[in-house]
A and B are shown apart, each in its own frame.
Chain A
Amino acid sequence: MTTGAKEPSWLCAACGIALERGMVEIAYMGSAFPVELQRCPRCGIVYIPEELALTRMAEAEKILEDK
């Protein structure tokens, strides 16, 4: 891992190369959403930050469940 200005950059543990930022489509609760995330250019694995997983996804879930 190297230090960036805004967020850490990660290496893919399987491929050993740096993840790159790019638009990916998250399939979530029956819908698809474009989100800019870090992904491995070789194997395609995507890094989902804790803040996105625990905060924004939770809020989105409430909306999609109509609660």
Chain B
Amino acid sequence: MTGQACSCGVSEKPLEIMRPGGLVLTEEALAACGLAPPARVLDAGCGTGAVVSRLRELGYRAAGVDLAARGPHCMAGRIEHLPAKTSAFDCVLCECVLSIAADPHACLREMHRVLIPSGIAVISDVYDRSDPDALAGLLGSCGFSVTLWQDHTRSLQEFAAAALLQGRSALPGLPQFISPRKAGYCLILARKDSPHG
């Protein structure tokens, strides 16, 4: 057996990464929206509810919906049929969800319904770098106007590299329609511009 001993560039500080960009990207997105607490925020596809918990710590009136919802202030439900009243939220987060959703149009239409007029949808997700306008086009067809589009592909690459170094699959949730070499990651802010009908 051979190996290498190294002390350069190594520290004890742990780093938790939930998805590309993590909670930092979520908080940056909310700041870019100009949404301050106690704005009403729905995390569509909240998973374990980590974002909901963090946002409530910050003073937002946050709630989550997920098929396998766990944790306080999180409801079990489908994004295509959100268990929420019309115009109930100032902002809807949808992170790493649309790319794996069976019907992303239906998800966006529901997000549109539960947002107040001029409410903001925050989308962070993988995208095909050979077709970078696809997500914006999808949002436009569902009654949203994109106000911000940021590339965060480096975060995706760091996320994949971290998984590899930890002995896991690099991009286990990558949709089949995106090849790993063409996979990018983006943050989009989109404003609800009219009732969708």
Contacts and interface: CB of A to CB of B under 8 A. Distances in A.
Interface of A: 8, 10, 13, 22-28, 31-36, 39, 43-50, 52-53, 56-57, 59-60, 63-64, 66
A16 to B, nearest CB: 14
A13 B3 CA distance: 13
B9 A27 contact: yes
A34 B15 contact: yes
B6 A46 contact: yes
Contact of A23 (B1, B12, B157, B160): B12
B104 to A, nearest CB: 26
A32 B11 CA distance: 10
Contact of A48 (B4, B158, B160): B4
A39 B17 CA distance: 22
Given A48-B5, A64-B161, A36 B11 contact: no
B150 interface: no
B5 A46 contact: yes
Interface string B123-156: 0000000000000000000000000000001000
8 contacts: A23-B12, A25-B10, A27-B11, A28-B161, A47-B4, A56-B164, A60-B161, A66-B157
Contacts of B6: 45-46, 48
Given A45-B7, A46-B6, 15 more contacts: A25-B14, A27-B11, A32-B15, A33-B158, A33-B162, A34-B14, A34-B166, A36-B166, A43-B7, A48-B6, A50-B1, A53-B4, A56-B164, A56-B165, A66-B153
7 nearest A-B pairs in the assembled complex, by CB-CB distance: A27-B9, A60-B161, A34-B15, A33-B162, A23-B14, A45-B7, A31-B158
B14 A26 contact: no
Given A25-B10, A25-B13, A32-B15, A8 B161 contact: no
Contacts of B9: 26-28
A50 B5 CA distance: 10
Nearest to B14: A23
A26 B12 contact: no
B10 A27 contact: yes
